[in-house]
Each structure stands twice: as C-alpha cells, then as structure tokens.
Structure 1
Amino acid sequence: MKRALCVLVVGTGWLWGCTAVQGQEQVSFGRIKPPAPEQIRAQLFTWLKEQAKVDGEKLRQAETLWAAESRPVLARVAEILALGSPEAQRLLEQAANPEAIMPTEVPALIRQSADPFFKANLGLAYARLLCLRKAYEEALEVLKLVRPEHVVDPGAYYFYRAVAEHKTLNREETLRSVDRLFDQVEGVPERYFVLASLLKYDLQSWDGRKNLDYVARRMDEISGRLDNARGGPKTQAKQKEILDLLSKMIDQLEQQLQQQQAGAGQGGGGQGGGRSSGGPPGGGTTRSSGPATDSGILGGAGEGKVDMKELIKRPDLWGKLPEKERVKVLEAVRREYPPHIAEAIEAYLQQIAKSSEPR
C-alpha cells in the first residue's frame, strides 16, 4: 500500500512537495532545490561536533577540505564525513579500490544510520563509487535507501540512479529518474543534463523487448559483474538467460534460412541447379559430417562464419581455443553482427577467457 506524506522542510528551503512511501524505498515529488553552501557547511560541522565529536585538529582539517571550492561539493562532503568516521573512511576506500571485493548487501553503516544527513550523503558518495566500479545493482540498492531531499547534490542522486537503472536494464525506472532529474531538480549541472539526455535517447531506440539489442545490453551488464568477481548464482542465471535467448534466435534464423533455400530450390529446378552425389544443394560450400571439436567454432564454410550456436551451447570452448582461432572468431563476429552487438559479444568472450584462466 502506497501512502503519501506531504512534507515541508522549514528553514532549509530544500524541498516543497510530497514524499511517497512504498516498502523500503521513499520517492520524492515536487521541486528539489540544492542547498546553499552555507547550509551544507553548517550541517556538516554540526555533525562533526555533535555526532562525530572530533577534536580541534580534525575541525581544522575539515575547514581546509571545505575551502577547496573548485572540487565538487559531494566529494568534499564525503571526505569530511570520512574524516569524522573511520568506518565511513574504510567503506569509501573499499569502494574506490578496484582490487577490493564488493559487498553483497548494503553496508550496515548506511542501512542502520539514524542520521538523515550522514546516511544520505555517505550513501550517495558510496553509490557513485560503486557505479564507477560497474557494480550497478549494488549501487541501486543503496540509492533506494537515500532520500534525495537530504543529499547535498540532488542532481548527482538522480543521475547516478538513472545510470544504475540503465545498466541493469530497468527501462521504465531509468526514464522516470531522468524525467525527475529534469523536472524536479533546480540548477542541474550541464554534464548531468547532457549525459542523462543521452541515456534517455538510447532507451528510446529500445522498446524493452528481449531482442538482440537486449542481449547486447545484458552481456555488457554481465561483463561488469564478472569484472567485480560476481560469478555466483545470480550472474550464472543471467548468463543462462542470454544463452537461451541466443540459441532461440539462432534456431529462428536457421529456420528462415532453410525456408529461403527450399523456396529457391523449387524456383530453380531444371535450370542447371543439379548437384553431384553427396554435395550440397546448388553446389554450395561443403560442411564436415563429423562431430564438432573443441576448435570447431569456426564453421566449414570458406567465408569463415562463426558457429555461434556451438559457442553458445558450450562457452567453455572459448577458453580452450588457441589465440589464432580466437582472432578468427572475433573477425567473423565483427563481420556478421552490428557494431554495438559485436562489441558486447567480444567483451563477453573476453570475460569468459579471463574467468577460465588459472588464478
């Protein structure tokens, strides 16, 4: 059951509007005005003194960090929160470290925090770093717990939320976040406006159906998960979905090809279209009648077409192929598929090879 709470944040001017509450996630409506720098500073230093209880030396360090006005406000706030909380510092350092293992759930420091300012801004800074690490699913789980009217940069909140939703193929949610960025946040930075517009344009070219475009996008998502050592059951389920979809698409293409060949054979009968005993119809290229081997991904055709069906059924073959064979397969993929799909397939195959390497 969804319930609406009309709220008015008195004395801050951050939000005039309503908040809808559904489950664990709270979504704000109305115009959100980014807080003025003096408001942010006042709240930040109140937190340092009353919650973090830092000494005079750390307060002076915080003043120095805050004075670096050429840097984004979220970056400065995150560093000052880390200065006052060793746990926050460790969390942000872990998220920024490309070698660190990603947590599988929202950290308790964010999830259990009772301080709205600390929770929202540490959560946003953490989610931003997760997006940079391609841990989009994890970033989205964090952002669902964050109230945009409590962050120092509402534009960053909706932008990174849209990015995480886009990369996890949540089409309608992405469009909704982009619209909220445009319609509800005052003074959206140009970089967010331009990039969010590109996200929206990209989704308008895909209607959400599970077609080749969907496969390419899902492969990109899986590559990101493998980059972060996320090869568990959830990633395997996503991989199986892709394998099943590609296998089904290839079956459909083969059926279409057989129908076309049958129609061509009927139309060309008696016009020199005979064939020698055991040869293919119309004198086409020959195919081996023997079973496929580990290096049998490239078909017997002289054009070097890829037997994607064989590769899809047995992705372990890719890891066993010699480098020369892999190069041939990649060249054939580039010839046979549109550029963005070919790039996704290449990235996926590279991840398979990487995951099969001895550690």
Structure 2
Amino acid sequence: MRSTLPITSLMITLVVAGGRSDSLFANEEVYSAPSQEELRLSVEEWLAFKGLGQSPVVDAVEPFLKFESDPQAEELFDALMRTLYLADDDVRALVDQCRDLRYGPEVLQLKAPTAERTATEPLLGHNVKYFLARHLSMLTAYNEAAELFHTIDPSYVVDPAGCLFYQSVCEHHLLMREDGLESLDALLNRTENLPIRYQKLGELMLQDLEGVKEKSLGEVARQMKDVQRRLDLSKTDEGVQEVENKIVETLDELIKKLEEQQQQAQAGGSGGGSSAPDQGASDTYLGGIKGEGLTDKKDIGNKDNWGDLPPKAREAAKNMLDRQFPSHYRQAVEEYLKKLADRPAPK
C-alpha cells in the first residue's frame, strides 16, 4: 500500500512553486503551511499507514497537535517532529544524534530518510530531511545541507518558509547564484504568510547575489571566507582545493588586468614611454609563477611548500595590492596567502 500523505491533497494553496527545471520548482504556484486541522488529519493518515492507528501512540501524540491559539508554521513543524520522534525509531535516533550542536566527522554520518522511504512516506521523509538540513546549516556545513535541500519538496514540508529560507542561506553562502536566486524567488514571491525576518533577510541575500560578479574581488573575498569555513571544519578535500585554485587564478587575472590598464594609461600619458621600473612584468607573480600572470596549476597542492609564494612573487603581489586594491581587500588577500603558506601539502 502506498501512502497518500501529501499535505497538498488537503488544501489548494500548498503546491509546488515554480522556477527550477527539476521537480522542486515545477510550477508557478504558491507554498503555504497547513492549518492545525490539516496537519492533524495528515498525521492520522500516516499513523494508519504505519499500522499505529489503534495503538497507544495515537493518544500519546494527541497533546502535541493541540494549541491554545492559531499556531505558527514553526510550531506546527515542531509538533510534527515531536510526533515523529515518538512514533518512529529511525527519527528518534536521528534527532538524538543531532542534539550536539558541534560540527565533527560524526555529523557526516547522519542518515536522512532514503529516497524509497520518502516516496512512500513523504510527510516523514521531506520534513525529517528539512530538520537535518537545517541542523547542518546551523553548523555551517553548507555543502552537505545544500545537497540535502535539493532533495526536499517544500510542498510536503509543514514550514515551507523555513525550508526555503535555510536553503537560500546555504546557496547564498556557497555563491550558488542561479540556485540561490530561484530559491529566494520562491521564498519572497511564492510563499504565503512569510515571517518578516525571513522577508528582510531574504531581500538582503537577493540583493547581494544579484550584485555578485564572476572573477571579481568581491567573489574572491567570499571564496576565501568559504575556504576558511571549510578548513575550520577540518575539511581539506578536492572541493576545498578546487576553490583555492580558483582564488589564486582569479587574483592572478585581476592583477594582470590592472597591470595592463596601468601600462596603457602610462603609455598614453607619456607619449608611448616605457612603464615605471616597479610596474613591469615582475608584478604579475602569483602562485609562484612570473611573466604573463598565469598560475602554474601543476604546482598547486603538489609540493611540500604548497601554497607558499617565493619572496619575489609575494612582494610583487603586495606591491600591486598596495597600489590598486582597497586596504580591507589587501589585508584579506595577505592573510589568505599566509594561511596557504602555513598549510601542509594535501595527501
């Protein structure tokens, strides 16, 4: 027997919102939280599907679904999780594992409901996935949280606004521009009764993502911050190294462009005269390479002194930063390069 639990079957407004090419945003419609009564009916149907319709669990969870006044979506979600915790062993084990609010290797071992179980028990599957994804995002494990969010259908989530908000937070932090803009569009434009805090923060994230330009100082600064976050979580996998490579390459390109612009301006101002001695090709050192400002990809991460810049290269990069970049960018880049120099080569 296949469960018929989707909350969408109980109300008109709780449907899948539009935007994405996959099943998460298939239509141009609106998300809305269920009412207290609609949630109660969904829980009863799920308990019956699990063969618990006549068990003591029914009486035990009944107080969770009673409220003195109209509950907010967060309260309904909390009531559902309390119910699932009491009625399901797997949910209880997962919630107990999430009580520790510190990130560690054990966090990556947490198991969300499988695709098979989510298909047959969507009320449990999608809401428990949201619970875990939100927990991961609070631990700044944004990569793992984002992957999990992309398997969640908010039309089954009791608190769709919270689900879309935390998904947007992850995508915003990871500079997943297209995904973030689509999630924020669903949050801000296709979610009913959106809490003010989600609205205001969502608008700020939207404005920020819309202003992000590829291969810019702003993007580099965000990438450096993300690398530091991952290192703080003791993550040194290929994903981290890939971002580090992009940072060095982007900085190299920016320095080269600024150098070319400077040389053109000087040539125009002096009738085609030569550049100043301290602004020649030596300024394009970055990543241990001189000349055309290109990073030697073979050397990144493959030496014992991985991330270390030769003294001349470091001085050239510093000179260019001193002349062209705002002080806060210069400081951030210098600190980042120092941290790279202190790190051991990846194994």
TM bin (shorter chain): 0.5 to 0.7
The range that moved more, 151-160 or 12-21, is 12-21
Q: CA deviation at 1:42?
A: 3.4
Larger radius of gyration: 1
Instruction: Tell me the residue number matched to 2:211.
Output: 205
Instruction: Tell me the residue number matched to 1:130.
Output: 136
Q: What is the aligned counterpart of 1:80 among 64, 79, 83? A: 83
SS in 2 for 1:97: coil
> Matches of 1:217 and 1:265 in 2, distance apart?
38
> Matches of 2:36 and 2:334 in 1, distance apart?
46
For the 8 Å contact 1:219–1:242, the answer to whether it is kept is yes
> Matches of 2:339 and 2:45 in 1, distance apart?
47
Q: CA deviation at 1:191?
A: 0.8
> Matches of 2:331 and 2:83 in 1, distance apart?
41
> Matches of 1:110 and 1:354 in 2, distance apart?
41
Q: CA deviation at 1:134?
A: 1.9
For the 8 Å contact 1:14–1:149, the answer to whether it is kept is no
Q: Deviations over 1:85-116 (max 9, x none)?
A: 34334434545532332666994524332211
Instruction: Tell me the residue number matched to 2:105.
Output: 101
With over 3 angstroms needed to count, the CA separation of the structure-2 counterparts of 1:265 and 1:166, relative to structure 1, is: same
For the 8 Å contact 1:75–1:125, the answer to whether it is kept is no
Instruction: Tell me the residue number matched to 2:63.
Output: 63
Instruction: Tell me the residue number matched to 1:252.
Output: 257
> Matches of 1:40 and 1:346 in 2, distance apart?
54
Q: Which amino acid aligns with 2:171?
A: E
Residue 17 (structure 2) pairs with residue 13 (structure 1): no
For the 8 Å contact 1:121–1:151, the answer to whether it is kept is yes
Q: CA deviation at 1:240?
A: 0.8
Q: Which runs of 5+ in 2 are unaligned?
A: 1-5, 279-284, 286-294, 310-317
> Matches of 1:35 and 1:354 in 2, distance apart?
53
> Matches of 1:75 and 1:333 in 2, distance apart?
51
Instruction: Tell me the residue number matched to 2:292.
Output: none
> Matches of 1:27 and 1:180 in 2, distance apart?
11
With over 3 angstroms needed to count, the CA separation of the structure-2 counterparts of 1:25 and 1:155, relative to structure 1, is: closer
> Matches of 2:257 and 2:84 in 1, distance apart?
56
> Matches of 2:272 and 2:21 in 1, distance apart?
63
> Matches of 1:27 and 1:342 in 2, distance apart?
44
Instruction: Tell me the residue number matched to 2:193.
Output: 187
Residue 33 (structure 2) pairs with residue 34 (structure 1): yes
Q: Which runs of 5+ in 1 are unaligned?
A: 1-6, 270-280, 285-291, 293-308, 319-329
For 1:216-231, list aligned pairs within 5 A. 216-231=221-236
For 1:177-326, list aligned pairs within 5 A. 177-206=183-212, 208-258=213-263, 316-317=307-308
Residue 195 (structure 2) pairs with residue 172 (structure 1): no
Instruction: Tell me the residue number matched to 2:116.
Output: 112
SS in 1 for 2:30: strand
The range that moved more, 78-87 or 255-264, is 255-264
Q: Deviations over 1:201-232 (max 9, x none)?
A: 112322x3221111122222222322333311
> Matches of 2:229 and 2:194 in 1, distance apart?
28
> Matches of 1:129 and 1:351 in 2, distance apart?
29
With over 3 angstroms needed to count, the CA separation of the structure-2 counterparts of 1:351 and 1:250, relative to structure 1, is: same
Q: Which amino acid aligns with 1:63?
A: P
For the 8 Å contact 1:8–1:15, the answer to whether it is kept is yes
Instruction: Tell me the residue number matched to 2:315.
Output: none
With over 3 angstroms needed to count, the CA separation of the structure-2 counterparts of 1:22 and 1:230, relative to structure 1, is: same
TM-score, normalised to structure 2's length? 0.68
SS in 1 for 2:131: helix
With over 3 angstroms needed to count, the CA separation of the structure-2 counterparts of 1:24 and 1:234, relative to structure 1, is: farther
With over 3 angstroms needed to count, the CA separation of the structure-2 counterparts of 1:8 and 1:151, relative to structure 1, is: closer
For the 8 Å contact 1:136–1:164, the answer to whether it is kept is yes
Q: CA deviation at 1:19?
A: 7.4
Between Structure 1 and Structure 2, which shows a larger proportion of strand residues? Answer: 1
Instruction: Tell me the residue number matched to 2:288.
Output: none
With over 3 angstroms needed to count, the CA separation of the structure-2 counterparts of 1:239 and 1:190, relative to structure 1, is: same
For the 8 Å contact 2:126–2:157, the answer to whether it is kept is yes
Q: CA deviation at 1:139?
A: 1.7
Calculate the aligned-residue CA RMSD, in Å.
Answer: 4.7
With over 3 angstroms needed to count, the CA separation of the structure-2 counterparts of 1:244 and 1:10, relative to structure 1, is: closer
Instruction: Tell me the residue number matched to 2:168.
Output: 162
Q: Deviations over 1:279-320 (max 9, x none)?
A: xx79x8xxxxxxx9xxxxxxxxxxxxxxxx9xx9776449xx
Q: CA deviation at 1:350?
A: 8.5
With over 3 angstroms needed to count, the CA separation of the structure-2 counterparts of 1:129 and 1:83, relative to structure 1, is: same
> Matches of 1:106 and 1:27 in 2, distance apart?
29
For the 8 Å contact 2:112–2:129, the answer to whether it is kept is no
- Between the aligned residues of both structures, percent identity stands at 26
> Matches of 1:59 and 1:345 in 2, distance apart?
60
